[in-house]
Amino acid sequence: MSIVLRHTSQVGDGGLREVRELLDRAFGGDFGDEDFEHALGGMHVLVREGGELVAHGSVVQRRVLHRGRALRTGYVEAVAVRADRRRRGLGGQVMAGLEGVIERAYVLGALSASDAGARLYAGRGWAVWGGQIGALSPAGPVRLAGEEGSTYVWFPPGGGLGDPAGRLDFDWRDGDVL
């Protein structure tokens, strides 16, 4: 097994096609072009067995407004493990690699968890954000009540916010904001 950390620019077109195919299969066809776009431009953890891509995750930079402060946030995207390789710790290995990037480069980590993924994140010390979730839309701040309860945050060791509540407003993007 090999685990590598690469920036999007180092993955190459063939590698990105492999990632997209893995994500399409892992999410049962419920992973659109905008979802894939959200996973690009940052760092990728790529896990291969026998040369085949079996797991992936990426972390991209986003800005999150909290109490008037714009926080440099490592946002986790596109975490997936091939169906026949699940429950073998590969998701945890992907997250360990992404958390290492967050620890070295960001104030906090954030992600939007599916019901299926929530157990993995909670088991690694990620916690549901207790306050409101919003976005800085082109029309101004909007609340994203549907994201409350599924938005997780992680603070690098020694990090954290003075007030771990209140509202988090994420930067705007096309498609699903979170």
Residue 177 lies in a domain: no
CA–CA dist 114, 163 (Å, integer): 26
- Tokens matching residue 71: 């926080």
pLDDT for the residue numbered 162: 64
Beta-bridge mates of residue 5? 45
Q: CA-based Rg of the chain, rounded to a whole angstrom?
A: 16
Residue 118 lies in a domain: yes
Please report where in the chains the tokens 């990632």 appear, as a residue. Answer: 19
Q: Taking the model in full, what pTM does it have?
A: 0.96
pLDDT for the residue numbered 163: 67
pLDDT for the residue numbered 63: 97
Residue 129 lies in a domain: yes
Residue 176 lies in a domain: no
Instruction: Please report, for the domain that includes residue 7, its CATH number.
Output: 3.40.630.30
Q: What is the pLDDT of residues 44-91, one digit of tens each?
A: 999 999 999 999 999 999 999 999 999 999 999 999 999 999 999 999
| Structural domain count, the chain | 1
Identify the segments of the chain with pLDDT beneath 50: none
- Domain region containing 123: 2-171
Handedness of CA 8, 14, 17, 18 (dihedral sign): negative
Phi, psi dihedral angles at 77 (to 5 degrees): -135, 155
